[in-house]
Amino acid sequence: MEETAFAKLNLALIVRGRTADGYHDIDTVFAFAEDGDGLSVAEAEGLSLRIAGPFATALGEADDNLVLRAARLLDAGEGRGAALTLDKRLPVASGIGGGSADAAAALRLLARWWRLDRTGEQLEALARQLGADVPACLRSRTVRGTGRGDRLQPAAAHRPGTPLLLVNPGVSISTAEVFRRWRGEASEGNDLEPPARELAPVIGEVLELLRAQRGAGPVRMSGSGATCFALFRSDAARDEAAASVAAARPDWWQLASRLR
């Protein structure tokens, strides 16, 4: 049995301020690509995780991975078995919800695999224990997130199927460090862009290159960076942009996809 951990985008992200518990109050619109990491499961005694794929080496020990943490949380000490394999296709620490999406995919996949009778609300309660973005990633549909990003409401944005291009310049950024450097400044589309660009100035180059592509708009940084994205009106325009970016910066990672 298989499940996709869909790449997360922040179509807009406003930081309202710091909260008493040290976190930040945000207002964001989450959207998701049709593609992402892959997660599969097979029969086994006990829980295990094997990590493969182009970004496997960028992750730490499998035993501390959010996928296994999600599996243990859902199992709740019942001793169910599952041999999980994570195909890590998305860059790590890149602002597109990789770990959160993986954890959410594990909850969806194992609820089916173990034939558990869990409501969406029950799974979201578990998701909140794993991270602020995990509830949105569990739904993997366009939603508005407030609070830490885990209070979700329906949202209307770009239509499903909208062509999308994701670009990452090969830079990993600490989300905690980006938030720590946030000084209250606003930025069009994503308030975390200024502190992220302090840490990785190359983000400005990515945004500039995407904005120069014919038919690109809107163009944003996602989450805390460094991945940026552009939406297009047609697959042909997106694919033309992808070829142009690859020619200009063949060392940068990119993914051509569509909105779910």
pLDDT in tens, 35-47: 999 999 999 999 9
> Where a domain ends, among 154, 175, 205?
154
Task: Give me the catalytic one of 8, 35, 88, 191.
Answer: 8
> Where a domain ends, among 102, 128, 154?
154
Domain identity same for 67 and 194:
no
Domain identity same for 182 and 110:
no
> Where a domain ends, among 132, 154, 176?
154
Report yes or no: 213 and 243 within 8 Å, Cβ to Cβ.
no
Distance separating alpha carbons of residues 94 and 227, to the nearest angstrom: 5
- Total of domains in the chain: 2
What is the number of other CB atoms lying within 10 angstroms of the CB of residue 31?
Answer: 28
Domain identity same for 69 and 27:
yes
Domain identity same for 102 and 226:
no
Q: Is 88 among the residues known to form the active site?
A: no
The CATH number covering residue 88 comes to 3.30.230.10
pLDDT digits (tens, 9 = 90+) for 4-20: 999 999 999 999 998 88
Domain encompassing residue 21: 2-154
Residue 201: strand, helix, or coil? coil
Once rounded to an integer, what is the mean pLDDT over residues 48-66? 92
Q: Name the nearest CA neighbour of 100 among 155, 149, 168, 171.
A: 149
pLDDT of residue 178: 97
Domain identity same for 202 and 126:
no
Domain identity same for 195 and 132:
no
The pTM is what? 0.96
Domain identity same for 57 and 108:
yes
Percent of the chain exceeding pLDDT 90 equals 93
pLDDT of residue 60: 80
Q: Is 102 among the residues known to form the active site?
A: no
Domain identity same for 112 and 16:
yes
**E strands in 43-104:** 47-52, 82-87
Domain identity same for 57 and 169:
no
Query: Is the pLDDT confidence value at 186 over 90?
Result: no
Task: Give me the catalytic one of 37, 87, 102, 133.
Answer: 133
C-alpha distances (whole Å) from 217 to each of 83, 231, 234, 249 are 42, 5, 12, 20
Domain identity same for 218 and 252:
yes
Domain identity same for 135 and 169:
no
pLDDT of residue 64: 86
Residue 18: strand, helix, or coil? strand
Which residues face 19 on adjacent strands?
none
Report yes or no: 180 and 173 within 8 Å, Cβ to Cβ.
no
The CATH number covering residue 253 comes to 3.30.70.890
pLDDT of residue 62: 84
Domain identity same for 108 and 12:
yes
Q: Which long-range contacts (CB under 8 A, 24 or more apart) does 243-251 make?
A: 244/213, 245/165, 245/167, 245/209, 245/210, 245/213, 248/209, 249/169, 249/209, 251/170
Phi/psi for 72 (5° steps) reads -65, -40
Query: Is the pLDDT confidence value at 22 over 80?
Result: no
How confident is the prediction for the chain on average, in pLDDT?
A: 96
